[in-house]
Amino acid sequence: AMISKGNYRHFMLKEIHEQPIVVAQTLRTYLRRLEGELAPPPEDIDLASVRRVTIVACGTSFYAGMVAKYWFEQFARVPVDIDVASEFRYREPIMEEGGLALFISQSGETADTLAALRHARASGQKIAVVVNVPTSTMAREADLLLPTHAGPEIGVASTKAFTCQLAVLAALAASLARAKGRLSQEEERRIVRHLSEAPAAINGALAYDEAIEALAATIAPARDVLYLGRGPDYPLALEGALKLKEISYIHAEGYAAGEMKHGPIALIDDAVPVVVIAPSGPLFDKTVSNMQEVQARGGQVILISDYDGIEAAGEGCVATLTMPKVHPLIAPIVYAIPVQLLAYHVAVAKGTDVDQPRNLAKSVTVE
């Protein structure tokens, strides 16, 4: 069927706004919300015997994998290796028995990821894939197919596929934890409840569309933009920077907030916007002190947080975006929205071809 932009100016904006629906749609496959239970994995795979997970992906899908590493290790206590697909085979990775290799891809066709999948298969790994195109090559070659139900994604810069990938990966981390005997019924119920709250929280974050549009004018003239985050939200900083680079052509870097003092702080002056992703939680105070180091050097901080005292914490910031209060587990899903919207509106302000950015392809089928 022909897919139209509807009333939206670009596919990317439409796809950003579809996220409450498609994340809910995706979660329905993995959760039994009313029973407060995780659904059994769609195909038979013995998760209890998984001793190590190797995650491989490219681009935005790789950053979803980086978030998942935190979840798999934290909830299931299963060690995780993660690589970008173009590096994976060449470092001669060690893949032992009991290994699950997990490939994440919107298209299911990315050449580097597919080659990595075949390499892992030849090395005796069980193959799981998180893909958005159920008829894709990766879907066909998997032992365990974990579909995202984002619907067709047309914008070259991935948005809704990313949040759907995160939803699947969070549910998989919980399933792995359960299979390992690390999740009580009570904890399972709580995780299911938190995940079920994601669509409404995404909706809440989408309410910032206009505020972010106004903010975009201040970022559009910048030459460099820095994104900072910690823990499972560090990959969101990387994703925010990637989105901005892809569609606005502004140089951007994502950094672990605590690592900034080892380099990028040298770049900071009053011409550098710094986006700080800081959900409340155990890492909040440390992130705020990194933010203050930026402010002390004149950096123009945009603080994104659900912290109660955000106005006070964000003193001296050029803007603060108050996110809905969510459990830290789903923060990466919710905080994806403001970074997507920011990239989108900056690109529109700069007049670039948002859905078809120069030099990029939706699906990269060459190595």
Task: Tell me the catalytic residues.
Answer: 362
| Residue number with CB closer to ligand G6P (110 or 287) | 110
| Distance from C-alpha of 191 to C-alpha of 212, rounded to nearest angstrom | 30
| Residue number with CB closer to ligand G6P (214 or 360) | 360
By CB under 6 A, is residue 67 in contact with ligand G6P? no
By CB under 6 A, is residue 360 in contact with ligand G6P? yes
Q: Least separation, in Å, of the C-beta of 134 and ligand G6P?
A: 13
In the block, which residue shows the tokens 């920077």? 241
What is the DSSP secondary-structure string of 157-173? S--HHHHHHHHHHHHHH
| Residue number with CB closer to ligand G6P (220 or 364) | 364
E-state strands within the chain: 31-32, 37-38, 52-57, 80-84, 99-105, 126-131, 144-147, 224-229, 251-256, 273-277, 300-305, 319-322
By CB under 6 A, is residue 354 in contact with ligand G6P? no
Q: Least separation, in Å, of the C-beta of 61 and ligand G6P?
A: 4
| Distance from C-alpha of 331 to C-alpha of 327, rounded to nearest angstrom | 7
Task: Fill in the per-residue mask, 92 to 111: x = in contact with ligand G6P (CB under 6 A), - = not in contact.
Answer: -------------xxx--x-
- For ligand G6P, the binding residues in 113-132 under the rule CB under 6 A are 113
Residues binding ligand G6P: number (CB under 6 A): 16
By CB under 6 A, is residue 340 in contact with ligand G6P? no
Interhelix angle 59-71/234-248, nearest 10 degrees: 170
In the block, which residue shows the tokens 């392809």? 361
By CB under 6 A, is residue 163 in contact with ligand G6P? no
| Distance from C-alpha of 202 to C-alpha of 277, rounded to nearest angstrom | 15
- For ligand G6P, the binding residues in 11-40 under the rule CB under 6 A are none
The token pair at 61 is 């899908």
Query: What is the binding site for ligand G6P (CB under 6 A)?
Result: 58-61, 105-107, 110, 113, 156-158, 360, 362-364
